Structure 1
């Protein structure tokens, strides 16, 4: 009798399935009995790419090799998880395995993971689909009783594969075309674009342009202090006839200069002061109860937003912590979710979790109250709702209590547990008071809010105090409080705030709201730009590619970001900068899942789009890219011709004189370029960045050869020594320096000891390690291992500078006398087979 191989997406799910089906023992890396073999992937094990015969290496990304539209897509094992793929392939090829069950996550990505593994292994067995939205034992057994046919999911599989291939085609052709365009004048200027990262960058650039162009407007507010018998209270004047219009800055309480006003804003404000000062007021008051429902459970994006706002954690840090709490400590459920509800059959699991939390000092009283007062109600659709769950449910604590969490893990775990407890509590109850005090016909508003019943806010203890703005001083019936103080305050409107990671995550999640087309907007309603699992890596990728920089808690687009958006707009390829591309894809992919459009039709449109992007880039030169470019008033210093700004340079229209707009990561403004040409120098420029990622200030001058160069005042030292010190106080250390014990921090280009980053002489420490070593990216988690254990995992993408061939190695900490540096340790070679001819200088992988 043949066996059924069940392939889950994650090891934890494979374990849950084995427990639910019963009497299935673990056998090495899988579970097995007489009927079932159960194993899992660890996310994606296979990636798509062009056939090796058609592949073009990075250094040869020229227009002659574009567009790239492969005849077919080949599958390539992901090196990091190659062993897991081999294990699954061996199980699939076992002669006693006669049927496969796709138990990957119930969604598009889960379908793709299984189908690519199936294709790579050349599996011939019939396939059935396990579709789960809940992981309770009952739900798993019910799912196996209702296995779906493979054909039933073909539309979903087509959509999954099409989305993956479309992303590849647009990303590869967009990146190579823009790189080829920017490399025409020499060198290799990698310019990455993508369906998600570039519209995200466009949001950042658009916001920054609004900030740069913002002109503050002066307005006035009138504030009063009223004397009542019971004490004083404050009020603010407002226009009772105010109606919201097109002016985004207009408010009922603001007094602006307007063309139709008979007097200036200042004069009108002062007139109100003179009119009301010392006069009695007539009070009208309304007090009513209000409630505030508890917030929903966390999905990954809301968890990342709040952790960034409360603790300054980056999105990547939050994901890493949540992943550790899930995988290593097993105290949180799967974190890469976009759902904020639980399955409807999870009521009993919630009860068991509360029982566990009752045993803790920190959460025991709240868990006990929830159970004693029966706050957990199956009918509560804010918590239990299958319709609000796609691949995964909300993030909640598991039945296992933590044992040894570090400080950051503890903070995140506490956030999740408190949210889990709070969601079952009643709403918080307030008494909201609004008081209008009219003085000589002018209205002043006062508001008070008193917490009557904390409800869910009790879970947060003292944090509930932030919800209380205080009660108003009481006013007796018929009393007429006197306006003892009335002042006019001169204020200014403020530009839009720069994005933090929290607000950028919100913008990515809600990107679809900005789309005008109703159908496309609906398609993006539940999607946004990226997924909860990928948004952190998108942001980190933009930083790594030098499109964004972190400054304190805000993110700022670099000159390279502005140049890219200018280029894409100038080449008229808006599909690469707007969320509509994702919306359009989601609309078509949803129809594909229903069988309404074919995969072939969709992919033909994507290929046409890739060709259009390349054609637009081929048809322009850097000085013909349209844009909002300036004509300089200062003539060319070489021939006296007119100077003009273009996409990449400030150039003379008659001779070949010109200079780059972007120098050391900083873009020169038109005014700065004018000064440099006119005075042959410009001093006191800020915001340059070294290759290490450090900010520095410098002066620029034009030398006798009419070339632009940096120079510093003599007391500032040589190049780079005028750099502003890095503010490490807002950053999280990766680990301890192996040389001096100080913190090692992650900058744009390197991991560096905070002591080494200082300008002290003599230098007390010099430890640093590049974020990319021989073309191998060194992820933060690997640097953590290096600093903690002295050795990374085996890294497989190093490229030898001598042979240009890839090789594998561990990074290790090497100590020689007073020198501490990062070096290589090579894995042992496999023993040679008997009688095999010796290979010369080539280690087996």
Structure 2
């Protein structure tokens, strides 16, 4: 055997390595690779390397300073991802073997697969040649043919350049924009970073826009009319409508606020006229109907996004939960094909595979046996809509592998497997046939419509089921002549009072659809074409993007709905004002993708693209660094007269709506007005329209608000408070909260002569928190009396032209610290006794029922720090069980461990910036 006689094949996933070895034959399975006389086959697990963080490029970047931005590396460097060093070293050891003549890229057929291989190739530090295996089908025959027609790796250099540019441009935008925006927007009262990313920020903008549409809506009352009619054989109902109504030609943004509809009556006079005409002609009612047969075609197979949307719609599952279940079904149970796919099609050579899968299921008694036998009898239908190489990208659609479960599935795994299996079978069945009926009943000039649909032939619906309870039956109006006008009897008419509802908040299903099809809203035809099929994000990352928005407190999930928080809305708003709103638009992804596709075709150089990204990043940083808060709101009209000073006007700022006579200086001026309405109250964003309404009406509402934890919702009326801005009130204006300042809202106050910090303090219990002000006024230092001024030992100097009148000396104060603890902390309601113990002893007892952001329980004691803040000290399991209630460690923790925690936090923040 020649010294260098083998090729090292690197796949993207272990399962693919196994498929290649099985198809080629002659392999022996080693611990971490396969080996034959011609090949070594080993695998990655997705990306094994990642770009270095800024602080790893230069320690100065550990501190987030505006003067250090932008960060524009001369060279982008990579490091092993956490937990992947051993895998990388194993691949490198294989690459260095003397009998390895070169490396074969068998990663997925696409841009990311190219990047994964090239990252590994560079890490191996070998100059051996490379080849590219490009597979879109994983049948044994396709694999063997693929090895026969491999090309040189250099022929894919353009694709590799595009892959690197995509990763590096995301790093540039994310790292720089996140640091710049965080430094400008973060205040002492806000925690965490203001993360910005090419995908996550446009996604946030979609949610924020819908949230504002929802909040701005004001219910408008209207009437509908329902008539009851009868024939000799049956009774039926019909809804009044205006046959002359025409829907205006509005774009989607305006149409969402348009409330006029053909069946709505907004005027009492119009309602009276309709009822008068109805009564006049009620004995002359006639009806006619049209019955049409409607074909409902069988559905497409699932790609990941479609599976996530369907699971959210049918099962209420989040995109993240759906992906996790599908991944387990692929990796652990081997029941589904690779789930992170954007294709709804199968390769054209998969017909036999599909037939064999259905044959396997037809032999096993299940609820799907009948459907499988039906398909085996009729053969695979709809093949032209399912098997198409043109629409198979890196991976094909999600389908069952044909392997039967070896253990009973439960929970999410069972639900997702069942959904995929039903979809798979339904795709090859006959179309469903519906009988749709529209009956029009006329009473004078008034029209009433009755619509029903009856399932005639279930077809694929037999296995997939109905979406809603929309199937109903309506006997024929005239058996002999179905389309004839027939007299009917009027029974009654019922006016119903309703009110318009706000645009529904986005569900994950709807958001995933918008992310996938966002190109439709772009005016530039070339950019729109690029995003038409891809959208923003990828099927593999969209669920993670949504979860990140929730973790970063930009979005809340309530049931199926996603609600943008005040923080999320303010970020999108301020980006548009700086203006760097390109960061929150899908056009940024479209323009980058357009250039990357040109690069793949050799029409754009990597160096040219990266220079454009450097320039764009520098522009974003400069605009963020130099904007002035007052300037970005100066063109907005005022919202009304200040209700406190009566002289000023209320205008919008970043944190709230304040009087323009507010003075931002330490010296209080005579005309200063401190009135402000903050932009958040009880987890609701306070938008301009609400402020205008409150300032104009004094009592406004009702508006939707949540409780203090954001878990339930109710309606509240609002009125003005001179100090608190707006407060809840009864419908007649009776306040539900104090109208005055913060310190008067105190529910309970208690003085502690000494605390753990060796300082006295005053406890204040407010509606939402316990607070303590350490360092009270020293009562032994009395203000100097003006009556004793002439006896002072230090009279005014003669050089002074005119002595200023003596003012009482201000009482001297010791240095103060403020401690604050929420009354509800990590899901746990804290007691006043807990807080007293915390102040007096420096620690609470161990508390066992805290909950993390992900809902996981944990136990901890709270320790008082010298600066008045608190920190968690996590409790051992013995303490959790009550065997050891001491939370103080026997030895002081090493400083190194604290540093390690800080570094870890910094690293996480940096990672958050890039998506």
Same-fold call, TM cutoff 0.5:
yes
Q: Distance in 2 between matches of 1:271 and 1:127?
A: 85
Correspondence for 1:269 among 270, 274, 294: 274
- How far does the alpha carbon of each residue in 1:599-656 deviate from its partner, in whole angstroms, 9 at most, with x for none? 111111111110111111122133333374745633777x987664311355564523
Q: Which region of structure 1 is more displaced relative to structure 2, 76-85 or 618-627?
A: 618-627
Residue 452 of structure 1, CA deviation = 1.4
- How far does the alpha carbon of each residue in 1:283-323 deviate from its partner, in whole angstroms, 9 at most, with x for none? 33322221111211111111111111222211111111111
Residue 540 of structure 1, CA deviation = 0.6
Correspondence for 2:213 among 210, 215, 220: 210
CA contact (8 A) 2:224 2:265 kept: no
Q: Distance in 2 between matches of 1:460 and 1:821?
A: 56
Matches within 5 A, 1:145-544: 145-183=148-186, 190-246=193-249, 248=255, 249=258, 253-256=262-265, 264-281=269-286, 283-377=287-381, 380-402=383-405, 403-460=407-464, 463=466, 466-476=469-479, 477=481, 479-544=486-551
CA contact (8 A) 2:846 2:885 kept: no
CA contact (8 A) 1:458 1:464 kept: no
Residue 370 of structure 1, CA deviation = 3.9
Q: Distance in 2 between matches of 1:80 and 1:30?
A: 18
Q: Which region of structure 1 is more displaced relative to structure 2, 172-181 or 693-702?
A: 693-702
Matched, 1:576 2:566: no
CA RMSD of aligned residues (A): 4.2
Q: Distance in 2 between matches of 1:686 and 1:466?
A: 33
Q: SS of the residue aligned with 1:488? A: strand
Quote the residue 1:596 is aligned against.
Answer: 603
CA contact (8 A) 1:366 1:421 kept: no
Residue 51 of structure 1, CA deviation = 6.8
Q: Cα gap change, 1:483/1:53 in structure 2, threshold over 3 Å: closer, same or farther?
A: closer
Q: Distance in 1 between matches of 2:88 and 2:614?
A: 30
CA contact (8 A) 1:111 1:157 kept: yes
Matched, 1:623 2:657: no
CA contact (8 A) 2:441 2:447 kept: yes
CA contact (8 A) 1:50 1:72 kept: no
- How far does the alpha carbon of each residue in 1:330-382 deviate from its partner, in whole angstroms, 9 at most, with x for none? 111111111111111111111221122124332452354244323315x7122
Quote the residue 1:24 is aligned against.
Answer: 27
Q: SS of the residue aligned with 1:277? A: helix
Matched, 1:768 2:850: yes
Q: Distance in 2 between matches of 1:367 and 1:722?
A: 61
Matches within 5 A, 1:780-799: none
CA contact (8 A) 2:234 2:475 kept: no
Q: SS of the residue aligned with 1:229? A: coil
Q: Cα gap change, 1:761/1:460 in structure 2, threshold over 3 Å: closer, same or farther?
A: farther
Q: Which region of structure 1 is more displaced relative to structure 2, 123-132 or 214-223?
A: 214-223
Q: Distance in 1 between matches of 2:106 and 2:135?
A: 8
CA contact (8 A) 1:277 1:485 kept: no
- How far does the alpha carbon of each residue in 1:149-202 deviate from its partner, in whole angstroms, 9 at most, with x for none? 212211211111111111111111110110111247798752111111111111
Q: Which region of structure 1 is more displaced relative to structure 2, 366-375 or 397-406?
A: 366-375
Q: Distance in 2 between matches of 1:812 and 1:14?
A: 44
Q: Distance in 1 between matches of 2:85 and 2:361?
A: 39
Q: SS of the residue aligned with 1:174? A: helix
Q: Distance in 2 between matches of 1:820 and 1:375?
A: 69
CA contact (8 A) 1:549 1:555 kept: yes
CA contact (8 A) 1:101 1:128 kept: yes
Correspondence for 1:103 among 86, 103, 106: 106
Give the paired residue count.
Answer: 755
- How far does the alpha carbon of each residue in 1:92-115 deviate from its partner, in whole angstroms, 9 at most, with x for none? 222221111101111111111111
Q: SS of the residue aligned with 1:360? A: coil
Q: Cα gap change, 1:542/1:701 in structure 2, threshold over 3 Å: closer, same or farther?
A: farther
State TM-score, norm by structure 1: 0.80
Residue 137 of structure 1, CA deviation = 0.8
Q: SS of the residue aligned with 2:575? A: helix
Q: Distance in 2 between matches of 1:695 and 1:480?
A: 52
Quote the residue 1:818 is aligned against.
Answer: 882
Q: Distance in 2 between matches of 1:303 and 1:760?
A: 49
Q: Cα gap change, 1:230/1:187 in structure 2, threshold over 3 Å: closer, same or farther?
A: closer
Q: Cα gap change, 1:751/1:152 in structure 2, threshold over 3 Å: closer, same or farther?
A: farther
Q: Distance in 1 between matches of 2:54 and 2:747?
A: 55
Matched, 1:60 2:63: yes
Q: SS of the residue aligned with 1:80? A: coil
Quote the residue 1:115 is aligned against.
Answer: 118
Q: SS of the residue aligned with 1:346? A: helix
Q: Cα gap change, 1:268/1:17 in structure 2, threshold over 3 Å: closer, same or farther?
A: farther
Q: Distance in 2 between matches of 1:455 and 1:279?
A: 42
Q: Distance in 1 between matches of 2:125 and 2:621?
A: 35
Residue 701 of structure 1, CA deviation = 9.4
- How far does the alpha carbon of each residue in 1:497-543 deviate from its partner, in whole angstroms, 9 at most, with x for none? 00111111111112111111211111101111211111111111011
Residue 583 of structure 1, CA deviation = 1.0
Q: Cα gap change, 1:237/1:484 in structure 2, threshold over 3 Å: closer, same or farther?
A: same
CA contact (8 A) 2:182 2:193 kept: yes
CA contact (8 A) 1:174 1:610 kept: yes
Correspondence for 1:547 among 545, 550, 554: 554
- How far does the alpha carbon of each residue in 1:228-281 deviate from its partner, in whole angstroms, 9 at most, with x for none? 0111122223333333324744676324559xxxx9432343244324433331
Q: Which region of structure 1 is more displaced relative to structure 2, 49-58 or 497-506?
A: 49-58
Unaligned runs of at least 5 residues, structure 1: 724-749, 772-778, 788-800, 802-809, 826-840
Q: Which has the larger radius of gyration?
A: 2
Q: Which region of structure 1 is more displaced relative to structure 2, 641-650 or 82-91?
A: 641-650
CA contact (8 A) 1:428 1:455 kept: yes
Q: Cα gap change, 1:182/1:52 in structure 2, threshold over 3 Å: closer, same or farther?
A: closer
Q: Distance in 1 between matches of 2:713 and 2:454?
A: 50
Q: Which region of structure 1 is more displaced relative to structure 2, 211-220 or 445-454?
A: 211-220
Q: Cα gap change, 1:610/1:429 in structure 2, threshold over 3 Å: closer, same or farther?
A: same
Q: Cα gap change, 1:143/1:636 in structure 2, threshold over 3 Å: closer, same or farther?
A: same
Matches within 5 A, 1:721-736: none
Residue 398 of structure 1, CA deviation = 1.0
Quote the residue 2:784 is aligned against.
Answer: none
Residue 711 of structure 1, CA deviation = 4.3
Q: Distance in 1 between matches of 2:456 and 2:609?
A: 58
CA contact (8 A) 2:27 2:35 kept: yes
CA contact (8 A) 1:351 1:371 kept: no
Unaligned runs of at least 5 residues, structure 2: 665-673, 725-737, 750-763, 771-823, 835-844, 860-864, 866-873, 890-898, 905-915
- How far does the alpha carbon of each residue in 1:650-696 deviate from its partner, in whole angstroms, 9 at most, with x for none? 556452358764578665667789999xx9xxxx9954767xx8789
Q: Cα gap change, 1:220/1:685 in structure 2, threshold over 3 Å: closer, same or farther?
A: closer
